[in-house]
Structure 1
Amino acid sequence: MASPLLRLRRHLTAYRPAHLPVAHKLGLSISLLIIGCVTLLGLVIINQQSRLLHEQMDGFGQAMVEQLAATSRELVLADDSLALNALIINLAGSPRVMGAAVYHRDGHPLARSGLVPETLDQPVAPPHHPQVSGYAGDIRFQDVRLGSAVVTLSQVEQYTAVRHAVTAIALSTLIISLLAGIAAFLMGKHLSRPIDQLMLATRAIGAGDYRYRLETRRRDEIGQLMTAFNRMARGLEEKSQVEGALSRYVSVGVARKIMNNLDQLELGGHQVEASVLFADIAGFTSLSEQLPPDQVARLLNEYFSYVSRIAHCYRGTIDKFLGDGVMVVFGVTEEDPDHRFHAIACGVMLQRLVSRLNRIRVAAGQLPVRFRVGVNSGLMLAGNMGADDRMQYTVVGDTVNLAARLMGSGDPGQIIIPAALMEDTELARALHTRPHGYLSLRGKEAPVNTCVVEDVSEPHRPLMERHIHALITGESPS
């Protein structure tokens, strides 16, 4: 069970704002500092004034007692009770004097009036009267103690003066604090304005707006920071432009790797477990002979655009275009544990899309277009291949060569894969295949057992259909 302190901390954390602007922090800090200083100064002034009033009251009380002792000395010696009572009554009627008394040395009162103790055994200041203070002094004659004189004084004026001082200082503190708070927040807003501008600029850069620039008119450290930010934004803009241009010739993943490792571009590669898809247009030579060159170029660009978007749906990367064919890799530029299924599903989606487009083309009186697809998975070498002055990021190896051979051995509309891939039970459940038999392929000593992929299983088909519909209609997949 959580402790009360921990529950309180959680409660406060729940209500703590997620973001507190620097202007508010700065204004609050300055305000608290000013309020603290003014409050401390007020407390010092109140304490000083209270102490001064106490000293004045004590001085006045002692003077009154000494005067009463001197005046009543002869009356006590003469045992003149009438004159002594008259003196006490007259003194007790003075302003600020609450009471006066003269006591015999044995403690009993000779004359008393007002708020005074009945005997000297009791406290000089009357109990339950916090605003009354008492003062006592001896009545002596030639070093003989005749008795004591007592005077009680009212502290109402003193308390009133202190209360007025506290009220005045409290009002002054409130007014100064209010003005200081407004000034502090305005100052904090002014000082934090460059930080707010930097925050907006950072968000713009984070959102991809590399053209965002700051106006640098300051000549202090913040101005230098703004200048450095503008240089950084300019560098990011140039890098983005280069990467955008580069990604038109190579995949986005490859372009990003190249841009992130400009100082480490060298020939060589590393072994990866990945998948590769080859697809080409069957009978392209005959088709191109029946069409003008510009229509052939438009047809290739149209279908290659479809292939690129289909590959993107399944995390594939266009490695290269090969005349009327294309090579797509999966799990090379970014890690993909499902690269086998994604490569084959990409081929299925391509064939299903082409079948839909052919119905449209035939209805429009155009020639149909058919693709052959070959897919393979396994170890391959990925990296920069070529020469020092001309290199290309690609994949090579027997796995890649077999995929190209499988494509070349297939019929239009078919997707050929090695039967060995179906040993993966999860992959087998995700696909509908049929045996295609053993094929003797160039570069392979033994025949390769193959399968034809007819479709993906039901759980994957609805999403594929939505993507195909979106590609044909130009809508976003729901």
Structure 2
Amino acid sequence: MSADRSNNKGSPHKPLADLEGQSSSEAWNRSPDRRSGADRRSGKERRTGQDRRFDLASAEGYPERRTGRDRRSGLERRSGEDRRKKQVPIDFPDRRGGKDRRSGKDRRSGERRRTKPRIPIFIKLATLSTLLILFVISAISFSMLKKQKEQFTDQLVDLGKSMVRIATKNAPDKLLGEEDLALFQLVNDIAENEQVVYALIVDKKNIIKAHSLIDEVNKAYLRPKNTHLIQKGGDISISTLTHDGEELLFFESPIIYQKFKIGEVHIGISQQKVLQSIRDAKIFILVLTTIITLLGILFSLGLSMYFSNPIRRLGETTRALGMGDFKYRVRIDRNDEFGDLAYSFNRMAEDLELKEKIKDIFGRYVTPEVVEMIVKDPDNPRIKASKVDATILFVDIRGFTSLSEDIEPERVTELLNEYFTRVTYTILRHGGHSNKFVGDEAMVVFGAPVPNPQHAEAAVRAALELQEEIARLNREKRKEVGISFEVGIGINSGEMVGGSLGPEKRMEYTVIGDNVNVASRLTSIAKGGEILISNQTYKSIAKNRLNVEEKGKVSVKGRRGGIKTFKVLNLEGDQYGISQE
């Protein structure tokens, strides 16, 4: 490696991320160690990241691997302290795992909402409209029937009064002259009206002198007891009574001669015709009400669907956007407020989709951990420099320059991209931060910017798995192009400075310091297939778990006496060791 590389300098170079259609951001999200994808919605937080729940083991023939401790599936978003304990790479801040994160009050409100029966809004609107129609029709019908009955009753009253007046006007002379035949003719003329049930005239002794029923003549008159007075005007009294099961209006008036009462007139008029007319009107109104109600129900359903369909579609759009499907569009082709709302929703979805694309593209050039920090505080994209306890891993291809001399440049680029893709995937699975790629060398940080107390062990595990991945890649490429990669890996742990470096328009997160140079130095002396670690890294891992071979001391610029180094053979509990291929 050149001096520039050893000092962690040089022109940063990113691999072409278009190999196999994958970006480093997508690779990071496809790590099996990421939190599982339960519904990530939040009642009070707009979700801006599309859910990328992919299983890396299903891509490119990789076997599924899980390292370190058990990765929980994200029943709640972990705090920074929890992440450090679990050694899991952080997710974007808008990634929310598993259950709803709402406050206690909102959660209780949601539980109460779930216990209530769900009634679609169009059913509610249709029911309310139908009830309103029934209420209006019932009120109108009741008013019409009442008015109709009053009109019929008034007609009967007028008829009865006119008959009583005729009788009281013509009866005095005939009653005084005991002209029974003339009285009978008078009563019979009155009774000819089909609505008159009976008519009679009695003298002052209450003896029936004339009756529409001839058998009742000359009998003592007994006034009905079940009458109910409804009107009394002048000399005429009007009552209601039931006669032989029939409702009657009972009219009675005294017969006056020279201011003396000489008899009475009694007339019973049937209300049957009135009641029958009312019953017919009720039936007609009932049929009409039924027809109007059915039509009203259909109209209400249509009207309800007209208003509820846009609401339902907007709800579906909201759920789709909440699940991260920013390509979803609501289709409401109406020139009204709903159309305006649909247009606004679609504009919002387009904006979210654009932001997601920008974020994905951004993730190809900046690691997800850095993206998270920037998203948390977008107004201050520069990450403040601070001292961090971390582990640096350098991986470098041995003799790649000579290997690539006989291969076309396009093929060289393709091979490098595939190599760096596998390096990136492996590093991400173990919580590492791919800091930069310089030529055929990659620099990786463990423990920063995301703190991880087990960063040294994570780096060693990643290195062991990386050697296995390179061996697998060699088996594939040896058949295709007749070449194989040999990589040397150097690892060092300790304190260093991490933060954003560079101008405002081109910043990157990186770490600098003497410990970075030590890792670079170890990489430069590591042979192909070797993993060299420093004494500091060795001390950070439990001795009974790490199988190493001591390699002696190496000199490092700025270090007196050199540093003690070890070659890693394997790590207890890890399925990977140094491949012999």
**Offset at 1:118?**
5.0
Aligned mates of 2:204, 2:540 — CA distance in 1: 123
Correspondence 1:289 to 2:392: no
The amino acid across from 2:489 in the alignment is: R
Are 2:498 and 1:393 aligned? Answer: no
Are positions 1:207 and 2:325 aligned together? Answer: yes
Please tell me the residue identity of whatever aligns with 1:392. E
| Cα deviation, residue 329, structure 1 | 5.3
Matched, 1:247 2:372: no
Q: Is the 8 A contact 1:432 1:453 kept in 2?
A: no
Match of 1:48 among 128, 135, 147: 147
Deviates more, 1:42-51 or 1:262-271: 262-271
State the distance in 2 between where 1:138 and 1:67 align.
11
Are the structure 2 counterparts of residues 303 and 12 from structure 1 closer, same or farther at C-alpha, using a change threshold of 3 Å? closer
Match of 2:50 in 1: none
- Matching of residue 60 in structure 1 with residue 60 in structure 2: no
Alignment CA distance shift 1:182-1:214 (3 Å): closer
Kept in 2: contact 1:277–1:347 (CA 8 A): no
Q: How far has the Cα of 1:139 moved from its partner?
A: 1.4
**1:280 CA drift (Å):** 0.6
- Select 2:424's aligned residue among 308, 320, 342: 308
Counterpart residue identity of residue 399, structure 2: S
TM norm structure 1: 0.64
Quote the residue 2:197 is aligned against. Answer: 98
Task: List aligned pairs for 1:449-460, cutoff 5 A.
Answer: 454=570, 457=573
Give the paired residue count: 435
Equivalent-residue separation in structure 2 for 1:65 and 1:448 (angstroms): 137
Pair 1:286–1:453, CA change in 2 (3 A): closer
Amino acid in the other structure paired with 1:54: T
Q: CA deviation at 1:53?
A: 2.2
Aligned pair 1:280/2:379, yes or no?
A: no
Are 1:268 and 1:385, in contact at CA under 8 Å, matched by a contact in 2? no
Contact 1:439/1:449 (8 A) holds in 2? yes
Equivalent pair of 2:393/2:491 in contact (CA under 8 Å): yes
Say if 2:314 and 2:330, in contact at 8 Å, map to a contact too: no
Q: Does 1:123 align with 2:227?
A: yes
Contact 2:532/2:566 (CA < 8 Å) preserved in 1?
no
Q: How does 1:213-232 map to 2 (within 5 A)?
A: 218=335, 228=344, 232=348
1: CA distance, partners of 2:537 / 2:143: 92
Which residue of the partner structure matches residue 470 of structure 1?
none
Find the aligned partners of 1:357 and 1:327 in 2 and give their Cα distance: 20
Q: Tell me which residue corresponds to 1:139.
A: 254
Aligned to 1:248, the other structure's residue is in SS state helix
Asked if structure 2 preserves the Cα contact closer than 8 Å seen for 1:343 and 1:375, the reply is no
The structural deviation recorded for 1:392 is 1.0
Provide Cα deviations, 1:132-187, integer angstroms capped at 9, x if missing partner: 03324231425555565443333232222223333333444444455555556656
Distance 1:407 1:370, change over 3 A: closer
The residue type equivalent to 1:52 in the other structure is: Q
Amino acid at match of 2:402: E
Give per-residue Cα distances to partners, 1:224-267, cap 9 Å, x unaligned. Answer: 65665565455445434433332221224544665775543346
C-alpha contact 1:138 1:146 (8 A) present in aligned 2: no
Task: Say if 1:341 and 1:85 are closer, same or farther in 2 by CA, change over 3 A.
Answer: farther
Task: Please identify, of 194-203 and 51-60, the stretch whose mean Cα deviation from structure 2 is larger.
Answer: 194-203
Distance 1:419 1:63, change over 3 A: farther
CA distance in 1 between counterparts of 2:456 and 2:519 reads: 13
Q: What is the SS of the residue equivalent to 1:319?
A: strand
* Corresponding residue SS for 1:209: coil
Correspondence for 1:367 among 463, 475, 484: 484
- Distance across 2 between alignment mates of 1:358 and 1:82: 139
| Alignment-derived partner of residue 469 in structure 2 | 353
Alignment partner of 2:285 out of 148, 169, 176: 169
Change (3 A) 1:434 1:338: closer
C-alpha distance 348-75 of structure 1, shift in aligned 2 (>3 A): farther
> Given the superposition, is the C-alpha separation of residues 119 and 304 from structure 1 closer, same or farther in structure 2, using an over 3 Å criterion?
same
Cα distance in structure 1, aligned partners of 2:442 and 2:477: 22
Displacement of 1:305:
0.8
- Give the structure-2-normalised TM-score: 0.55
* Partners of 2:226 and 2:242 within 8 A in 1: no
Distance 1:118 1:415 in 2: 132
Structure 1 residues 108 and 157: alpha-carbon distance in aligned structure 2, compared to 1, 3 A threshold: same
Deviates more, 1:309-318 or 1:297-306: 309-318
Structure 2 unmatched runs, 5+: 1-111, 229-239, 577-581
The higher relative CO (CA closer than 8 Å, separation ≥ 6) is in: 2
Unaligned runs of 5+ in 1: 1-8, 465-478
Would the aligned equivalents of 2:326 and 2:350 in 1 still touch at CA under 8 Å?
no
1:155 and 2:266 aligned: no
Question: C-alpha separation between the residues in 2 aligned to 1:434 and 1:69?
Answer: 135
The separation in 1 between residues aligned to 2:496 and 2:243, in whole angstroms, is 100
Contact (CA 8 Å) 2:403, 2:483: kept in 1 or not? no
Conserved 8 A contact 1:438-1:448:
yes
1:134–1:385 distance in 2 versus 1, CA, 3 Å: same
Contact 1:318 / 1:327 at 8 angstroms: preserved in 2?
yes
Change (3 A) 1:224 1:13: closer
Paired residue for 1:268?
A: 384
**Aligned equivalents of 2:266 and 2:567: distance in 1?**
122
| One-letter amino acid matched to 2:247 | V
Q: Does structure 2 retain, via aligned residues, the 8 Å contact 1:278–1:325?
A: no
* Deviation per residue, 1:346-383 (Å, 9 max, x gap): 4454333334444555677543534536486x998665
| In structure 2, distance between residues paired with 1:30 and 1:449 | 84
Q: Distance in 1 between matches of 2:511 and 2:422?
A: 22
Report the AA paired with residue 354 of structure 1.
Answer: I
Change (3 A) 1:170 1:237: same
Residue 337 and residue 276 in structure 1: after superposition, are their counterparts in 2 closer, same or farther (change >3 A)? closer
Question: Could you tell me how far 1:58 is from its partner in structure 2?
Answer: 3.2
Residues 201 and 266, structure 2, Cα contact 8 Å, conserved in 1: yes
